[in-house]
Structure formats: C-alpha cells, structure tokens
Structure 1
Amino acid sequence: MSATDLVTTELTITGRITTASNATFLGTIGDVDVVYKPRAGESPLWDFPAGTLAHREVAAYLVSQALGWGVVPRTWLRDGPLGEGMVQLWQERDPDRSAVDVVASDDVPTAGWKHVLEGHDENGRLATLVHEESPVLRRMAVFDVIVNNADRKGDHILAMTDGHRHGVDHGLTFHRDHKLRTVLWGWLGEALTTEELDAIGRVSEGLRGDLGRDLADLLSAQEVAALAARCSRLHSAGRFPAPAGEMPAVPWPLF
C-alpha cells in the first residue's frame, strides 16, 4: 500500500490494547494491520506537554530512519475514528523469544547476555535483569540516548523471528531535560563503534536539513536544539553514557 493510501484509506478499529496507559487500538487500513493511538486518548503527564505524545512517536520514527537502522516501525500521523493520532505498522513478534528478561541470580546466562542490575523478587529471592548482547539491540540503546527515551521497558522491545529488534512506544521522548530511563544499560561506558558514530553523524547532519525541518512540525524548537546537543555530546564522548541526575535510571515497572 502506498504512503498516500495509508493516510487516506479508511482506518477501521478492530480491538483495543487494554494494558497500555494511553488509549491504544488495533486496526486495519485496507489489508494492513496497524496500531492507532488517538491524541484524544493520551493521559496527561506532569512533565510532558499535553497532546504531544503522538507527535513524539512520529519524531522517533524520523530519527530512526536518519540513523538507518530501522529501530522504529513505520509511523505516521493521520485522522482516524477517534480523531488525529499516531498510526504504526503492526509487528508480529516472535512469541518464543525475548530480548530482555529477569532471571534468578544464580542462573544468569554467561554468553550472549548483558547484566543490568540485581534486586529481589516478590518472594525475596535475588533476581537479575539481563538483556541480549547483540548489535541490533545495541543500536536501539544508542537510539534511546539520542531521543532521550524516558520509558524503554522490556516489553517495548519486539523480538522478531528474523533476528531484528523493533522498539515501540516512544511517546516519552525528546524532552529538553535529561530523562533517559531504560533497561538497556548493559553497554554502560563501552566505546561506540565507527558504524554507530557515523549514524549519529547522519542525524546531526539531517538536523541541519530535511530532518530538522520535519521535526520542527512535531517538536518545539528547544526540543530540536536539545536533540542536536545530545548527538554532539554522544559523538564527542564516543562511548555509552552512565545514568545521571536524580531520576531513576530504569523505568518502573520494568516490563
């Protein structure tokens, strides 16, 4: 289906995702399955301007495209049965795979996984948060730093059957202040690769051209400037940052 058809063809609601904190619906556009989040269904937040979450989701997709990694599924704004909202192509995840997990601390996998933190489960037993050690998930961690993702939960990472990992739910992004909360801290302090630095450079360059003009319709001028500053700092530092500030470093709940 063409980009024009995805905007103009009728969007039909087929179900609702009741676990989401904002109104989130399953739908179809022709024979294409989508997720639809109307702006009218966004819950008010104390630290993000009202009615802006859909715009932030689209902005996250544009930055993902500039990076060239396909982190975020195709996302756009359009009208729907409940008014304007964010629409995203539905992704069928692999039900037998998870990129993030909580395991008993005496059973932490030693190969192919990164240790994030340790705590106690509801029964008082030691448990450890782990995530995959893979290039595709590492790219998502870079993306989260750039967009200042305040809500990278484990369930916001979709493990696909082909090995790709999609990130979803990017309404809490692009704040001017530091808000990074993520379960993907396994590469803390590690040097960025040449590929990762080049991708960050593409975003910086894009902000001086088409990407910057497109984001100006979705974010405030201060938020776009803060995005440019984060790219510059991350590129100059050349390594994954550590948690900073007084806010928790991970979202809650973790999943």
Structure 2
Amino acid sequence: MPAPERIPPGGLTGTELITLLTKGELTVRGQVRDASNAVLFCTVAYEGEERSCVYKPVAGEQPLWDFPDGTLAGREVAAYEISEVTGWGLVPPTVLRDGPYGEGMCQLWIDPPSGPSADGEPPLLALVEDEDPGDGWKAVVRAEVDEGRTALLVHADDPRLRRLAVLDAVINNADRKGGHLLPAPDGRLYGIDHGVTFNADDKLRTLLWGWAGEPLTTEAVEALDRLELALEPGTALVTRLAELITAAEIDALRGRVEGLRSAGLHPGPSGAWPAIPWPPV
C-alpha cells in the first residue's frame, strides 16, 4: 500500500530538499559545542535556494565500543530512509555527502515554534508527584529527583510520539532522549540524533515506553507492511541501506519489522540493556 502524502518542511518538495542538501554549497556558521561528536551548524545554497542545516563529519566521530561497524553518519541517513518508507516523515531530510571536513551527514535544520502558538504548545515530557500519570499522559518510570524524593516520569499520549516509538523499535534506537524531540512550527514532530541505531543486538533505550505491551495502531501496522515489502532482498531500499549499514544489521532490521508485525504490540524493555537513556534529556 502506498505511503500517505506529506508536505515536507522548508517550502520545497522532498526531492528538492534532498537535491539542495546533496548538491548545495555548505558554509559553516558555527558549532554545537555540547555535543559528544562534531556537530556544525551550516547553511546550504543551491540554484537560488538557501536553508540552514546540520553537518556532522565522519572525521569528528568518537569511536563506540558497542557500535564498532559503520559510522554515525551512515546510520543517521539510514534512519531517514526508513522513516520515509513509513510515510510518517519523522526524520528531517538527511543525506550523506562531502563537505568542508570530508564526508558526513547533512540534515535540514528544524526551527522551533515561535510566537503565541509556541507558548500554547503542550509539553511532551513531565515529572509528576502522583502515582497515576493522569489523563493525556503515559507513565515511563519513577525516578529520583532529589535525595529521598521521587517523581513519575511521563510522556504525552500523543500520536506523533507513538509513531516515533514505533520507528525507534524498528531502527533499534539506543538513545531516544527528550532533547532529540523537535516540535516544528507546522505542528509536526521530528526525531533527531540517530547515530546509535540499527545494531544487530537489542539496544532499544528510550523515554517512550508508555505504550509498551499495547496493540499497535492500524496506521503502525500499515507502515510495517510497507517496510516489509521495501526490505525484501534486492529492493532499492535494501541496495541503499547496504551503502550505510552492514548486512547483519539489515537482516536484524528485517527481523525486527517482521517481529513487530507478527506480535502486533509495542515492545517493552528486554532487561538485557538499560531501558532509559542517561541523561534522559
């Protein structure tokens, strides 16, 4: 079944944005200094169009003992490719390209909401004192906030977050933090920082456990059906992924999609890996 049509961010079509990010001239404007790897804020310009973007050169990546294969940049692009097949558009347009410091990931910058509408944007995460999360919220875990005092970490019962929880289960996201959730001015929600994904071993670590054990929505099942077809051997998606992640990771990806579709449920923590990222935000 075809993916639903979406309007991409930035006033250009999805294809035009990918062309801009791939062929445009990158100019470094600054650096995100609190990141563990090199993250450069840039502009990219092509045929009269210019947008802000993030450029993460492979040369600036720190090695990870538990992700010894491939690159953070390759996995970030793979996450975008999978997101596009679902039809949800949860990852900003992302490409792998050469830049001022060599090959790296280049991703469209998402501006935060501003003005009166931003003030009314409901929070996605919260800490509550009660045992029950309350209407409109899903409980994640009880956490210590001060010495001797705990609070319940909750996330919004938001369909945008629920889609992202499914995507994270598919790509085996080991680091879904609150700071990786970007509401956009048009009301959409994006997830970023997908460098530690696609491991062949179960690494799912997220703040979005609120639906664990609940049935998948109809739209999630349809998205998984699209992914199953797109991940059959020899497809264009598999050929593209082979340039970004390993064959073992592609096989594991295919197995996770089939497993989720068969179970029909949101997964829960495996117990073999810390379930909550640290720091959570």
- Equivalent of 1:61 in 72, 80, 99: 80
1:24 aligned to 2:39?
yes
Could you list the per-position Cα deviations for residues 38-71 of structure 1 after superposition, in whole angstroms to 9, with x for gaps in the alignment?
A: 0011111111126511000000000000000011
2:247 corresponds to which letter in structure 1?
A: A
1:35 aligned to 2:54?
yes
Partner of residue 148, structure 2: 124
Bigger shift: residues 183-192 or 113-122: 113-122
Q: Tell me how far 1:108 sits from its aligned partner.
A: 6.9
**Structure 2 residue ranges without an equivalent (≥5):** 1-11
Partner of residue 221, structure 1: 247
Partner of residue 249, structure 1: 275
1:189 corresponds to which letter in structure 2?
A: G
Partner of residue 192, structure 2: 168
1:88 aligned to 2:114?
no
Q: Structure 2 CA distance, aligned partners of 1:227 and 1:253?
A: 26
Bigger shift: residues 137-146 or 46-55: 46-55
Could you list the per-position Cα deviations for residues 10-55 of structure 1 after superposition, in whole angstroms to 9, with x for gaps in the alignment?
A: 2011111112111101000122100110001111111112651100
1:105 aligned to 2:143?
no
Q: Tell me how far 1:199 sits from its aligned partner.
A: 0.4
Partner of residue 6, structure 1: 21
* Normalised TM-score (structure 1): 0.94
Could you list the per-position Cα deviations for residues 62-105 of structure 1 after superposition, in whole angstroms to 9, with x for gaps in the alignment?
A: 00000000110000011111111000000012364465424241
1:52 aligned to 2:71?
yes
CA contact (8 A) 1:42 1:51 kept: no
1:74 aligned to 2:93?
yes
The alpha-carbon distance between structure 1 residues 220 and 50, as it changes in their structure 2 partners (threshold 3 A), is closer
**Structure 1 residue ranges without an equivalent (≥5):** none
Q: Structure 2 CA distance, aligned partners of 1:157 and 1:19?
A: 17
Q: Tell me how far 1:109 sits from its aligned partner.
A: 5.6
- Equivalent of 1:233 in 236, 239, 259: 259
Q: Secondary structure at the match of 1:84?
A: strand
Bigger shift: residues 36-45 or 245-254: 245-254
2:77 corresponds to which letter in structure 1?
A: V
Bigger shift: residues 147-156 or 117-126: 117-126
CA contact (8 A) 1:104 1:126 kept: no
CA contact (8 A) 1:38 1:54 kept: yes
Q: Structure 1 CA distance, aligned partners of 2:148 and 2:200?
A: 38
Q: Structure 1 CA distance, aligned partners of 2:101 and 2:248?
A: 30
2:204 corresponds to which letter in structure 1?
A: L
Q: Structure 1 CA distance, aligned partners of 2:198 and 2:92?
A: 18
Partner of residue 197, structure 1: 221
* Normalised TM-score (structure 2): 0.86
CA contact (8 A) 2:112 2:184 kept: yes
The alpha-carbon distance between structure 1 residues 237 and 108, as it changes in their structure 2 partners (threshold 3 A), is closer
Q: Percent identity?
A: 51
Q: Structure 1 CA distance, aligned partners of 2:280 and 2:127?
A: 13
1:136-155 alignment runs, 5 A limit: 136-155=160-179
1:130 corresponds to which letter in structure 2?
A: V
Partner of residue 159, structure 2: 135
Q: Structure 2 CA distance, aligned partners of 1:13 and 1:126?
A: 43
CA contact (8 A) 1:178 1:245 kept: no
2:272 corresponds to which letter in structure 1?
A: E
CA contact (8 A) 1:99 1:157 kept: no
CA contact (8 A) 2:73 2:96 kept: yes
Could you list the per-position Cα deviations for residues 105-155 of structure 1 after superposition, in whole angstroms to 9, with x for gaps in the alignment?
A: 149762211111112113432222111111111000000000000000011
Q: Structure 2 CA distance, aligned partners of 1:241 and 1:33?
A: 36
Bigger shift: residues 127-136 or 146-155: 127-136
